[in-house]
Amino acid sequence: MKRGYAAVWLGLFAGILLACAACAGAPRGAAAGEQAGLDKVIAESNEAIRRDRTDGEAYFNRGNAYYQGGDLARAIADYTRVIWLDPTAAGAYYNRGIAYRDTGDYKRALADYTEAIRLDPADAGVYFNRGNVYYEQGDYERALADYTEAVRLDPEDAGAYVNRGNVYDDLGDYERAIADYTEAIRLDPAYTAAYYNRGLVYYGTGGYDRAVADLSEAIRLDPEDAGAYFNRGNAYYDKGDHDRALADYTEAVRLDPDAAAAKERLAFAREQRGY
């Protein structure tokens, strides 16, 4: 399975008190210390709203804090209030779209991202996030268009290249996929997912040595990645290095005892070696 860069950027409101970034699909909810900071923002926002019910910045900041704390319903309500106070607040549409996406309401997420783009067409992050939703829905052509626009607006964003590479891979355009993963690595040489994904493309196109090299780098960057060991094991096996394949399958199962595919390949490799 390919890995995508699913980070999202919360749009900023003038004078924002809380600048936060979250990962779409990642668990929300804060640790005790972080929650204390979010509670402080919420309390300050509540006081600002008590003094002035039209304080859009306070609603926006409170919505960000609710989002970071995992309370999506309240976050959506606060972003909606900001939009009611200022229908041109692109950041509120953007953030509400992020929250809708995390609830699985892709239709509303797309509508909000599209409105945010209409209000601020130079924001690469909104194209990126809308591209993520299109990709998750299997609409690869629209995802490709949005990632390409994100790259045009922000050519230094390694994540946009990785996700566009994923689309090219799914469309069977392996040369462009490899080119995008390579550019992501140039921009961020420690980008594990770029090595991992490029390794999968090399493996799928018969470039076993290059697959081993990329997956080895992914393992060096993240030694606890069972998937990288599993896929490197496949590359070793198909290039005839069964002993190394067996070692990688063994490590994959050690790291993830519930990985059915790795256990199946381990059993097969052991049987082939007469163990």
In angstroms, the Cα distances linking 57 to 13, 54, 246 are: 6, 9, 57
Helix (H) or strand (E) holding 156: none
Beta strands in the chain (DSSP E): 7-9, 21-23
The answer to whether 232 and 212 have CB atoms below 8 angstroms apart is yes
Name the CATH superfamily, with its identifier, for domain 191-275. Answer: Tetratricopeptide repeat domain (1.25.40.10)
The answer to whether 40 and 24 have CB atoms below 8 angstroms apart is no
Whole-structure pTM value: 0.87
Q: Domain residues of the chain, as ranges?
A: 191-275
Residue ranges in 52-123 assigned as alpha helix (H) = 56-68, 72-85, 90-103, 106-119
- pLDDT of the chain along its 275 residues, tens only? 777 655 454 543 332 222 233 334 334 566 767 888 899 999 999 999 999 999 999 999 999 999 999 999 999 999 999 999 999 999 999 999 999 999 999 999 999 999 999 999 999 999 999 999 999 999 999 999 999 999 999 999 999 999 999 999 999 999 999 999 999 999 999 999 999 999 999 999 999 999 999 999 999 999 999 999 999 999 999 999 999 999 999 999 999 999 999 999 999 989 887 77
Those residues whose C-beta lies under 8 Å from the C-beta of residue 185, and which sit 6 or more positions away, are 158, 191, 194, 195, 198
Q: Which residues pair with 9 in a beta bridge?
A: 21
Predicted pLDDT at 275: 74
Nearest-Å Rg of the Cα atoms of the chain is 22
